Every structure is written in C-alpha cells, then in structure tokens.
Amino acid sequence: MSSNFDNRVPILSTAYSPPIEYFASFINSQTLLIECCENYQKQTYRNRCHILTANGLLPLIIPIVRSSSKYIKDIRIDNSSQWQLKHWRAIFSAYKSSPFFDYYDIYLESLYSRCYNFLFDFNTELLKEIIDLLNLGTQIEYSSSYIDNVSPSYVDLRSEFNPKKPSVYYKKDMIKYHQVFDHKFGFVSGLSIIDLLFNEGPMAYNYLESISKSN
C-alpha cells in the first residue's frame, strides 16, 4: 500500500481518538474525506479507543443512546454516565509520567470538559485538535450522502481499521517507540494516537511517516 495512494483522497469513517495507523494512512494527504452517512457499527473505533495503563490494555468506550436512526452523524452520546470525566481520569493516570503529557494535556482536557450531544461532533473536534498538534495540515471534508461508488480520485479506507483485526501498518519488524509501560508489557500496537503523541511529542510526525512508507 502506497503512503500517499498516488495522491488519491482517503475516505475514512469517523473514529474516537483513532489508532496510530489511522493517521499514518493520510499523513501525506492534503485532504481527508470523512463519511457522515454510513450506518453506525458496534464494537468499532467509531466510539472506542485503546490506551495502555499500568494494568494493561484499556478500552475507552463512549456510551451512546439507542436510536432508530442508524446514520453515524445522528448517533447521540449518553451523557448520563460522566464518561468524559472517567475517560480523562484514565488518560491522566496512564500518561501523566509520559515525556510530553504536560505539553499537550491542556488542549485535550478542554475537549473532555465540554458537553457534546453527538458522537460525530465530538470525534470531529478531537480529530481536528490532534491533526493540529501533529502539524499535519490536513483539511477535513465531509460526505453529503453515503459514498457507494468510489471515484478513482479517492481511496476507500472505511473498513481498513477495526479493533477486531490487525492493521496492515504493523509488521513484526516494525519500528517501535517508547511507551510508558513497555517495561511491563513490551511494545503494544493498535493504541490510540494519544499514546504516540504523549510519548514522542514532535517526533510523532516522523514515526507516522516511517509507518506510511513501509506500506
């Protein structure tokens, strides 16, 4: 898989604090298209991410309201459980000792302190913030209807990233980066982009490039 897909625009599903390889897939793209009108799918990155804690891998799951609507843009968040506070406490506990936590936490914590009604809106704001922190410069566009027939100027990555299957971006001999708890668990792949950001800081961009060039 080419790192820039021959200049085609990647089409991706919305995702909550997406995995590292999600960002590697569009690091060399000026534009990213997010699908707004696909059906919501359970147990995907759309409302979950994974971080590494002192006790091992921890899934962070945004609770949603059961709805008759299946479109991802219409899925409401269940804010009755104080999920934002719980998620931020877990993130703080996991990464407070990471090298770059103090550089970035203020930007992300502010998002977790706001109330969002729709999953798509929260995911989008978080994605924009992380793109800025990584200095990617990628512009986000949104589909106006479900994209069924993908034109040659796009590459469809909507089903590429799933917590139930390994990503093509990870190889057995892949370059590893320092993780807070690698002395306990070794290197763990498939984590949220914030793991890379807090541990590598400005060098996160270089790491994403190295992954994208290997495909």
pLDDT tens digits, 171-181:
655 678 999 99
Tokens of 202: 């400005």
Q: What is the mean pLDDT of each run of 10 residues along the chain (215 residues)?
A: 64 97 92 94 94 97 85 94 96 98 96 96 98 96 91 91 78 79 93 97 94 73
Note the pLDDT of residue 113.
95
Residue 171 carries which side chain, given as an amino acid letter?
K
Is pTM, for the whole model, over 0.85? yes
Q: Which residues contact 105 (CB under 8 A, 6 or more apart)?
A: 92, 95
Beta pairing class for 31-35 and 9-13: parallel
What pLDDT does residue 3 have?
A: 43
- Rounded to the nearest 10 degrees, the angle between the axes of helix 101-112 and helix 83-95 is 170
Query: Which pLDDT does position 2 carry in this prediction?
Result: 40
pLDDT of residue 211: 83
- Total domains, the chain: 1
pLDDT of 68: 61
Q: Tell me the residue range of the domain where 11 lies.
A: 5-212
- Is residue 32 within 8 A of residue 134, CB to CB? The reply is no
